Amino acid sequence: MINVRAGTLKKYIQDDNLRLSAADRAFLGDLARVGIVDEADAQQHHFQERKTAAARRLDRLCEAGVLECHNVHQPGRGNFKAYSFKTERIATLFGGHKPTIGRKRNALHEVIISRIFFAEGRPATFVVESQFSKNQRELFTVAGGTMMGRDACFPDALFIQNGEIVVVEADSGHYNKTQILNKQNAWSGFQQVWGQPAKASARVDGAKVHCF
């Protein structure tokens, strides 16, 4: 993680009194890698030693202008909080990015990518698709194109394990079986790790799956 100096950070936030703790910096380091973090993962991996809930500290970082809080809905789980950097500039200070959340990429989908990162032990080589290098993107060019008519099929993220590339794909519960199989076939040369909510339209078979 990039060690952002307090004086540098204060140029971009509204709180001159903010002091980042070691737990804050560990959280921000993981946030820089994945773009958004579920409150539950922050509680388990960064703020487990605090007497108060993680959300209390994270909401404080929102008030200071470091973070933005997203209210996420997941069928079967209900509503929960997730956090991203407040602005792209602050994300860049920490070596990260602010995810694009909208009609095409919903917050739940982005959270599932992040949850896979934590479920896989927070691999240091984890890279989300928007941050792929040119060489990483070239790995996913499909000879003859895909069934969707594109010449490449990019996973949501990747990481290296035992010298091999592992592709990461998140399904927020909307993929049908054909869509799942098309993606699995496009990445048949790679190890695959998928994430799905407990309630999903179709299940992934033949790959490692984390069910959240």
- pLDDT tens, position by position, 72-127: 999 889 999 999 999 999 999 999 999 988 766 799 999 999 999 999 999 999 99
93 within some domain: yes
Residues 13, 93 within the same domain = yes
Residues 33, 69 within the same domain = yes
pLDDT band at 3 (very low <50, low <70, confident <90, very high): confident
Residues 11, 92 within the same domain = yes
Q: What is the domain-level CATH number for residue 94?
A: 1.10.10.10
The pTM score is 0.92
pLDDT value at residue 67: 97
- pLDDT tens, position by position, 124-178: 999 999 999 999 999 998 655 555 555 678 999 999 999 999 999 999 999 999 9
Give how many domains the chain has, as a whole number: 2
Residues 206, 136 within the same domain = yes
118 within some domain: no
- Three-point CA angle 29, 193, 151, nearest 5°: 100
Higher pLDDT, 103 or 14: 14
164-170/191-196 β-pairing = parallel
The secondary structure of 134-183 as a DSSP string is HHHHHTTB-TT--TTS-SB---SEEEEETTEEEEEEE--S---HHHHHHH
107 within some domain: no
104 within some domain: no
pLDDT value at residue 143: 57
Axis-axis angle for helices 22-34, 54-64 (nearest 10) = 80
Domain that holds residue 70: 6-99
Query: 120, 84 in Cβ contact below 8 A?
Result: no
Mean pLDDT in the chain? 92
Residues 11, 73 within the same domain = yes
Query: 64, 185 in Cβ contact below 8 A?
Result: no
What single DSSP character describes residue 95? T
